[in-house]
C-alpha cells in the first residue's frame, strides 16, 4: 500500500506516474519536525536506498545529500554523487519505504549526528510517500510502479564494458581492445568520457584525436 502526504506547495517533478491510496492525514512511523521528519531506530534496523552513492549498502552511520555533484574525487568522505534518489527502506522493528518527491536538496542524517535517529531535512514543499509491503522486494516493486519501471537495455549492455576517465585519443581505445583480445577476455563495449568531444561541446567529436570515430 502506498500513502501520500503533501507539505506546502510542491513543484510537480513528474517523477510519479502511478496511482496511490489514500492521502494521509498524519504520517505513520515518522515524526514530523519543522524542517523535515525523523525516525527512532533500533540497533537491528538497516537502512537501504539512496541509489548510487558512497559507502556501503547499509546507509546507517553517515550523512547523505540528494544534491547532484560532479565531483571526480569519489571518496567515502563525500556526501553526494551524480544522482539524487530520495527513496529509502527501513528494515527492522518496522519495515517500510519512503520517497520524498522534491527537486531540491534533501539531507539524510542516517544515525550520524544521533546514533539512533534517522533524520531528513528538506524545504517544506514536497510530497511524501510511505510504502508498506509484505517484504523488501514487495516494497521495491510498489515503488517501481509509483515512479515507472526501468526500460530493458539492449543485449550487449548485459556484457562486459570497459570504461575509465578518460581515453584521450583513438590509439588508446584501440590499445585497450587489443589487450582484451590478446588476453582472451570478453569485451562488448568501450565507454568514453567527454574527452572525445571538440572542446567539450555537445554532439561533437575531436577529429584530430578521434579521426575514425564513426568506424568504431
**Could you list the pLDDT tens digit for every one of the 216 residues in the chain?**
899 999 999 999 999 998 766 677 888 999 999 899 999 999 999 999 998 888 889 999 999 999 877 777 777 788 887 788 999 999 999 999 999 999 999 999 999 999 999 999 998 899 999 999 999 999 999 999 999 988 888 888 899 999 988 899 999 999 999 999 999 999 999 999 899 999 999 999 999 999 988 876
d(CA 162, CA 197): 19
Instruction: Please say whether the beta carbons of 16 and 147 come within 8 A.
Output: yes
Instruction: Please say whether the beta carbons of 31 and 39 come within 8 A.
Output: yes
Helices (H), the chain: 136-147, 170-182
The 3-state secondary structure of 4-47 reads EEEECCCCCCCCCCCCCCCECCCCCCCEEECCEEEEECCCCCEE
Of 89, 125, 86, which Cα lies nearest the Cα of 106?
86
pTM recorded for the entire structure = 0.78
d(CA 5, CA 127): 6
How many helices (H) and strands (E) are present in the chain, helices listed first?
2, 12
Of 203, 202, 193, which Cα lies nearest the Cα of 169?
193
Provide the edge-to-edge strand list for the sheet that holds 126-131. 2-7, 126-131, 95-101, 87-91, 46-49
What is the distance in angstroms between the CA of the first residue and the CA of the last residue of the chain?
Answer: 48
Amino acid at each position: 500500500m502506498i500513502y501520500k502526504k503533501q507539505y506546502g506547495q510542491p513543484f510537480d517533478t513528474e517523477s510519479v506516474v502511478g496511482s496511490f491510496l489514500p492521502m494521509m492525514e498524519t504520517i505513520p512511523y515518522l515524526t514530523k519536525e519543522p524542517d523535515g521528519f525523523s525516525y527512532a531506530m533500533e540497533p537491528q534496523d538497516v537502512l537501504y536506498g539512496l541509489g548510487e552513492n558512497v559507502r556501503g549498502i547499509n546507509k546507517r552511520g553517515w550523512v547523505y545529500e540528494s544534491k547532484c555533484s560532479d565531483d571526480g574525487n569519489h571518496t567515502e568522505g563525500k556526501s553526494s554523487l551524480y544522482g539524487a534518489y530520495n527513496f529509502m527502506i527501513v528494515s527492522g522493528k518496522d519495515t517500510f519505504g519512503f520517497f520524498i518527491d522534491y527537486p531540491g536538496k534533501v539531507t539524510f542524517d542516517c544515525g550520524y549526528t544521533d546514533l539512533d535517529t534517522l533524520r531528513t531535512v528538506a524545504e517544506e514543499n514536497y510530497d511524501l510517500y510511505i510504502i508498506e509491503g509484505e517484504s523488501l522486494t514487495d516494497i521495491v516493486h510498489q515503488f517501481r510502479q509509483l515512479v515507472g519501471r526501468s526500460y530493458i537495455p539492449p543485449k550487449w549492455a548485459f556484457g562486459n564494458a570497459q570504461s575509465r576517465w578518460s581515453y584521450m585519443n583513438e590509439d588508446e581505445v584501440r590499445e585497450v581492445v587489443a589487450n582484451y583480445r590478446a588476453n582472451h577476455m570478453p569485451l562488448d563495449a568501450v565507454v568514453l568520457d567527454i574527452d572525445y568531444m571538440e572542446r567539450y561541446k555537445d554532439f561533437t567529436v575531436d577529429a584530430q584525436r578521434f579521426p575514425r570515430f564513426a568506424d568504431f
